[in-house]
Amino acid sequence: MLKLHRKFNYRLRLFNTCPAPWQKKLLTPDGDVASMDCSSQPVSPYSGAEPMDTSSDTSSDTVSTTEAEPNSKLSQSADQPSFLEMASSHKDVYIFLQRCVNGVIPRDLIGGKNNHRRLYTLLRRLVSAGRFEELTLHEAMQRFRLCEVSSWLDCKLSSAMDIYASLIYWIIVEFAMRLVAKFFYVTEGSNSRHRLFFFRNDVWQSISRDAWKHLERNGMYAPKSHAEIASNTTRQHFGCSRIRLLPKERGFRAIVNMRRSFIFKRRFPVGPGNEFNKVQVISTNRQLADFQAALRPWCIAHPELFGSATFGPSDIYAKLKQFKESLSNVPTFGTERLYVAKLDIHHAFDTIPQERLLALLQTHLPDEEMM
Are 81 and 21 contacting, i.e. CB atoms less than 8 angstroms apart?
yes
Are 24 and 15 contacting, i.e. CB atoms less than 8 angstroms apart?
no
Nearest Cα residue to 238 out of 277, 285, 279, 278: 285
The CATH number of 2-45+84-184, from 1.10.8.50, 2.130.10.10, 1.10.132.70, 2.102.10.10, is 1.10.132.70
Section 204-210 average pLDDT: 86
Among the residue ranges 18-32, 37-51, 352-366, the one predicted with the least confidence is 37-51
Measured over the CA atoms of residue 177, residue 178, residue 183 and residue 185, the dihedral's sign is: positive
What is the H or E stretch that residue 100 is in? Answer: helix 90-104
pLDDT at 45 > cutoff 80: no
* Model confidence pLDDT, tens digit, residues 126-158: 999 999 999 999 999 999 999 999 999 999 999
Q: Which residues contact 302 (CB under 8 A, 6 or more apart)?
A: 364
* Model confidence pLDDT, tens digit, residues 336-362: 888 888 888 877 777 788 888 888 888
Nearest Cα residue to 1 out of 71, 123, 104, 122: 104
Query: pLDDT at position 51, please?
Result: 36
* Model confidence pLDDT, tens digit, residues 219-273: 777 777 777 766 766 665 666 777 888 888 777 888 888 887 766 665 554 445 5
Strand 243-248 and strand 251-256: the pairing is antiparallel
Q: State the chain's maximal CA–CA distance in angstroms.
A: 82
What is the H or E stretch that residue 83 is in? Answer: none
